[in-house]
Amino acid sequence: MEDVYADGYNIFLWSIILLVPIAGLMSFLLPYPYSLVSVSAALVVLMLPSYIISAPSSRFKAEQRSYLLDSPAVVGAITMSMNRSPSLERALEVGSRSGNGRLQSSLSLVVWKALTGEVHDLRRGISAWTANLDATNDGMRRSMHLIMAAEEEPGNEGRDRLLDRANSLVLEGLREACERYVASLSFPVMLVFAFGVLAPVMLFSLIPLMSMDIGLTGDGSYDVMSLAAILLVLVPVSTFLYMRSLMGRNPLCRPVKEKGKMEKRQWALIIMAVPAAVAAWTVSGSAVISTMAGLAILLLSLFISGSRESKDDAERSRSFVDGLYRFGNGMLRGQDLETAFEDAVLTENGEFRRWGLKMVHLTRTARTPLVDAVRDDEELMRWSPVLHQAYITVMECAQEDHRGAGKVAINLAQCQNDLDRTKRRIREGLRSVMDMMNTTSLIFAPVIIGLTSGIMGLLGGEKDWLMVVASIYVVELAILVNYFTKNLDGWRDPQKGWRAYGARGAIALAAFLTASLCGQMFLFRLL
């Protein structure tokens, strides 16, 4: 941290040297209200050092949250190995091979330090490692202490009791972390709704009725650039960053590099919105027609890029969890890995059956081991990294002990069932606010802004450019709200998200255009 403090101090000095003179020039050269932009330079002087100093703690908290989802699989693999042979070193080796997450990597480092003599013995290294876990991973810390105590337990009955308690503690810790996150969502979600959705709509609708100079130039016409900077840049960026910080605390989500990957053809369709807007401007000379053409191509490209929603995420997850239960029970009855998996696939219905038949087909036609076929399957890894990790963990453990792997499968299925129940609680607890946000972004806000944009055109300013700002804003608002409501509870499928962005943006734009046309035809005559 001393190096971090030194870097923060150096950044602070360089910011003062570079940004303070720039802020002074901007305050004298730019006209009001643009001269107020110089205040942002002073804020940057304070924000950059703060970001540098807080970056290590932020990364540490993110790493600790990433341990939560992997902890049931790791502890399950460790206890399975301990049940077979009470060797802590062997158990940690099995646990570190149960996946490729940060928790497994951290445990591998602990074992490596013990093997190379960097720490005196493995137990002391594990004790030091658990001391560095924060309060989020209390269940993991206590489970590791029980596992070390189980190694010294002479009787099998006492060892099994300690290991069962270790599994239950890590599950309870994950459940408590999810419950704390659910309890902390009410006020932040209302804050997003109030300042990210309602406040900009109220600002847009009240400007024509205000006799103040906000958004007005000296001759009474509207300063469209100021309005665009507030509605299209300042408010969406601030709201998006706050949403990201809120969702970043979700213990149910884990980022995966393969998620949301789009093909070059899909990106080419999205980029086509720019030449389409330029071509429409060249032909018509109208900013409104050019913007509508660009937005239409953009929304159509997003809609085409997404996949069709064939199954609800909750139903799909329930099918995979039931399959994991059947898979584990089959191995507990004495079946081997392949036989238990095939019986579970043929017995269970839904998405798990379709996916499982594909895995069985790969093992028979390509001579691929089942664990390798599951590990290389991008479909499950992209949709649910937690379930993908659970199946890999069970299959890795089955190479050591089939009955122990069956017990691990049951524990992981119960853990995933608890996670799904928590996600449903998030949806049910925030359903009213989410419905208000969706309805406002799709219907109410576009209608209000559509009616208001006509009035703003009558009171002064360039009507076409006001329509441009309003149309872009309603699309941004619909996409932003959809991004928040779809990702907050942990159910995430980016390919479906692209399709939803295009559909909801099109609905909001259609509502805006309909309200604007109605305002021009009827409301203008009344005024």
Q: What residues does each domain of the chain span? A: 2-182, 185-250+430-526, 313-426
- Residues 107 and 265: their CA atoms lie apart, in Å, by 42
- What is the C-alpha end-to-end distance of the chain, expressed in Å? 65
Q: Is the dihedral of CA 49, 53, 54, 59 positive or negative?
A: positive
Left, alpha or beta for 461 (phi > 0: left; psi -120 to 50: alpha)?
A: left
Residues 6+ apart with CB under 8 A from 107: 74, 92, 95, 96, 129
Say what the pTM is: 0.74
- Residues 329 and 409: their CA atoms lie apart, in Å, by 8
Q: What is the CA angle 279-471-513, rounded to 5?
A: 95
DSSP-based helix, strand, coil % in the chain, nearest 5 = 80, 0, 15
Q: At what angle do helices 102-116 and 88-96 cross, to 10 degrees?
A: 140
Sole residue written with tokens 């659910």: 182
Sole residue written with tokens 């997450």: 101
Q: Could you write out the DSSP letters of every residue in 15-51?
A: HHHHHHHHHHHHHHHSPTTGGGGHHHHHHHHHHHHHH
Predicted confidence pLDDT, tens digits, the chain (527 residues):
788 888 888 888 888 888 778 777 777 777 666 666 667 777 778 888 888 888 888 888 888 888 888 888 888 888 888 877 788 888 888 888 776 778 888 888 888 888 887 877 888 888 888 888 888 888 888 988 888 888 888 877 888 888 888 888 888 888 888 778 877 877 888 888 888 888 888 877 776 555 444 444 444 445 677 777 788 888 888 888 888 888 878 777 665 444 445 566 667 777 887 888 888 888 887 888 888 888 888 888 888 876 655 456 778 888 888 988 998 898 888 888 888 898 888 888 788 888 989 998 888 888 888 888 888 888 888 777 778 888 888 888 888 788 888 888 888 888 788 777 777 777 777 777 788 888 888 888 888 888 777 666 555 445 677 788 888 889 998 888 888 887 776 555 555 567 788 888 889 889 888 888 777 676 556 55
Residues 6+ apart with CB under 8 A from 148: 88, 123, 126, 127
